[in-house]
Structure 1
Amino acid sequence: MNRRVTLLACVIILMVCCSAMANEEIWGELLPTGEYYTLLDPEGEVLLETGRQIYLQDQYLAADNR
């Protein structure tokens, strides 16, 4: 019984660690602390500010899907 609990705990820890690494791959690189990007629309209005890396090919979809 004790061995099963230990094995179950190891599996849970492994799953948590793997999901955290997968999320980092999905969401990309973080900028250094205190640095951020501001995304503007064509009129110069602020759409968002983020601490994640943004690339020229990225697209922004608003809540109204525009």
Structure 2
Amino acid sequence: MDDRKPVLEIVDELLGCLYGDKGYISGPFERELADKGVTLITGVKKHEIKSDETLEPPDAPETIDY
């Protein structure tokens, strides 16, 4: 069951952030929410690569020996 349609009706009364699970990840859906002034916050799907901002820092600094 796709429950994104009712969400679009509910967010007419919201401003700010909307938290949802990974099932809400959809480019068109996120753009439609953004047009209404709402930012969608979700987890990352298993097959998606995390962006550099969410990656853990390396355990040891990298060095280059000449």
- Greater RCO structure (CA 8 Å; 6+ sep): 2
Quickly name the TM-score band, shorter chain normalised. under 0.3
Tell me the TM-score normalized by structure 1: 0.22
Bigger-Rg structure (1/2): 1
Task: Indicate the structure with greater helix content.
Answer: 1
